Structure 1
Amino acid sequence: MPALFDWPYIPRELEAPLSAPGPAGRAEVIIGPRQVGKSTMLQKLVEGRRHIILTGEDEDDLAILSDPKSYLKLTEEYPYLIIDEAQFIPGIGRVIKRIVDNNRSGSRIFVTGSSSLDLAGGLKESAAGRFNSYELWPFSLRELARRTSWIEVKRSMNERLIYGSMPAVVNDPRHAEEYLLDISDAVLYKDIFKLAEMRRPTELTKLVKYLAYNIGSEVKYGTMASELGIQNKTIERYIDLLEACCILRVVPSLSRNPQSEIKLGKKIYFYDNGIRNALIRNFSPLPARTDSGALWENLFFTERLKLHAVRRDGTEIFFWRTRAQHEVDFLEVQNGKVAAFECKSSPKTKTTSIRAFERAYPDTPVTIATPGNVDELFD
């Protein structure tokens, strides 16, 4: 096991709900991209307490987790049990079900996975009702502001837009480019290659780079299939895998008026700006870029996802576009209520698109989101 912390620890918002005693008969499942700090957060959580950590990437640990006589004794011996990289454990759903059902000592059980591909599927099939699910993302601006201040966060917005918020980047900015290039080359697709039958990895990498160049733009699978020479169904499968493995997110369009609003459109965003920029090999400063607006849009979207992930409030995020080409970047829908956001690099007067949206949805004003008001948007 590596050293607990290589840098001063930055507290995560997810610690509060994970530290609180949960309902009996449940495990705590944390899903998130690789290297966002899932293991570090849990090691901090159990620091100074009797615990055991098993990982799906260790052969000896896999042997324990494949033998009920071995793993059912764990909760008798350890008040805290952590199963890391659980997506690589065969039959993980059945394992968790048995451990939870035989947990008579009330031990806390934590399960992490960098992919929901097998992990969530196996759990839903075999361990329904026996786990609480959480998401951990790269550092949020809220977490960084609590460590320093919102003033400091605003000062470093250019760095977040270019290099993102992965823990290694925030803690060691001098080596940010080197780290991001390494993870994009060696780690990013690890789960997909290991868990799925990937006969043509070059197709996947070609698709990912195409999507990276088109963040914030409406994409159509048929058009991509034609331009990339990849079958439409293959593109759909790859995008599903990339989303399941916490590499990107698909944003659908919201349509409540089929006569005027598109309903099949999709936009693609990456879970971290730095990873996206590494994929296209471009860490140029903002003044030299043509995609600064798309970078702010990507960052805003992921920050809203982080916010709702901590709240676990079930909010869904869409974009809005009409056949007349009016568009609003993001609509958040929670319990039938809609909140609208338009991303701008600086405050501006209302555009024709915003006026068109407010005519169609008079009870939903549009919030202008800029890097200068991140404290109002996320605090």
Structure 2
Amino acid sequence: MQIQRTLKTQLQNDLLNSGKVIVLYGPRQAGKTTLSKMIIEETGLKSLMINADQLKYIDILSSRDLKLLQSLVSGYQLLFIDEGQRIPEIGINLKILHDELPELKVLVTGSSSFLLSDRVSEALTGRKKIHTLLPVSMSELAMDFNAFELNDQLNERLIYGMYPEVITTKNKIEKEEYLREITTSYLYKDILELETIRYPMKIRDLLRLLAFQVGAQVSMNELCNSLKLNRETVERYLFLLEQSFIIFRMNAFSRNPRNEVSKSQKFYFYDNGIRNMLIDNLSGMESRNDVGALWEGFIIAERKKKLLYEQKHVNTYFWRTYAGAELDFVEEVNNNMTAFEIKFKKPRLKAPKAWTDHYGNDFHCITRENFLEFVV
């Protein structure tokens, strides 16, 4: 099964027509290389495809030498560099190629956005277009499956997640082996290779703590105490995990600090399968005690993908008062607020009065019955 990706048309159009270096970010194993090769094949252009693990290319692509760079790409119309963050001086060399060989199309992928971004941002100011590819979205699966089929697959998506190979692998044992490989071999690779981590085992411990707290407010003090690390170190680890597309955070919404929680935050995983493997629980939905957390994390991650691919700039929050009233998800667009409660089964009929009194009645409850309207 070839999974269709929402980014494909825009990425291909930018590559062919923008006149800029195209940078494709995303977590490892999300399908960046597969998508790139598909696009390149469809262009029909003579293409040089480079894996940055190959040492024979690294010296030239980090040389700052126009003659060497010209010798490498001579006769090609398109240059593809996979895992470009592994090449020293990648930004300045891409700048040279862009400025001196303007007819050459360039596509670069990178898993560790924090490093690649540092190396390309300044050098390629005004010369790049950036796209982010996350694990497969429900909106992408909807290109091949109807609503009945998507609902039929839902429990599996909630347990095993949305990585391409997980979706295309039918055998559950093989799915588990693949997720285990990701969480042991790939998940921390960028961080441990590219950042000096004094306590590498603490990264996994931190992720496990967050995995058990999906949907709950996270206390930085509790994380620091549990990990026996100072706040600065924990904050740095969280930043690296976010930049590696493993987790994302959501802040509390408040315009009334006296009554509303304003400084708290929640953390979610981009993929349920990764979260479930971290806590060693791939049990079926019928035997789990964390269904609410699984559902909330899944819906919010899928909504995040949808907004990203539709290029909609929306501020997202959760909301809670000190008296205990709360909402799982709030979207703010042009100062207009829309509130959501996320329930797997029993719907919530209306927002808390403390919300409607101050922010209006635009409220929706996302359940298994209507979730496709929200994420597709």
| 1:1-379 superposed matches below 5 A | 8-21=1-14, 24-47=18-41, 48-67=44-63, 68=65, 69-72=67-70, 76-105=74-103, 107-174=104-171, 175-350=174-349, 354-362=352-360, 364-379=361-376
Q: Residues 283, 21 of structure 1: CA spacing in aligned structure 2 closer, same or farther, 3 A cutoff?
A: closer
Q: How much does 1:236 deviate?
A: 0.3
Distance 2:363 2:282 in 1: 31
Q: Secondary structure at the match of 1:133?
A: strand
CA-atom RMSD, angstroms?
Answer: 1.7
Q: Residues 125, 219 of structure 1: CA spacing in aligned structure 2 closer, same or farther, 3 A cutoff?
A: same
8 Å CA contact retained: 1:15, 1:45: yes
8 Å CA contact retained: 1:33, 1:245: yes
Distance 1:108 1:313 in 2: 27
8 Å CA contact retained: 1:157, 1:371: no
Q: Secondary structure at the match of 1:53?
A: strand
Q: Secondary structure at the match of 1:118?
A: helix
Q: How much does 1:378 deviate?
A: 2.3
Q: Secondary structure at the match of 1:230?
A: coil
Q: How much does 1:151 deviate?
A: 1.3
Distance 2:152 2:352 in 1: 29
Distance 1:64 1:335 in 2: 48
**TM-score (normalised: structure 2):** 0.93
Q: How much does 1:145 deviate?
A: 1.6
Q: Secondary structure at the match of 1:112?
A: strand
Letter of the aligned partner of 1:343 in structure 2? I
Distance 1:62 1:254 in 2: 46
Distance 1:317 1:72 in 2: 46
More displaced 10-residue stretch of structure 1: 327-336 or 149-158: 327-336
Distance 1:108 1:151 in 2: 41
8 Å CA contact retained: 1:343, 1:370: yes
Q: How much does 1:228 deviate?
A: 2.4
8 Å CA contact retained: 1:72, 1:98: no
Q: Residues 371, 58 of structure 1: CA spacing in aligned structure 2 closer, same or farther, 3 A cutoff?
A: farther
Q: Residues 328, 349 of structure 1: CA spacing in aligned structure 2 closer, same or farther, 3 A cutoff?
A: closer
Partner of 1:3: none
Q: Residues 336, 52 of structure 1: CA spacing in aligned structure 2 closer, same or farther, 3 A cutoff?
A: farther
8 Å CA contact retained: 1:72, 1:102: no
Q: How much does 1:21 deviate?
A: 4.2
Q: How much does 1:347 deviate?
A: 4.2
Letter of the aligned partner of 1:11 in structure 2? Q
More displaced 10-residue stretch of structure 1: 92-101 or 133-142: 92-101
8 Å CA contact retained: 1:164, 1:275: yes
Q: Residues 314, 61 of structure 1: CA spacing in aligned structure 2 closer, same or farther, 3 A cutoff?
A: farther
Structure 2 unaligned regions, length at least 5: none
Task: Kindly tell me the number of residue pairs found equivalent between the two proteins.
Answer: 369
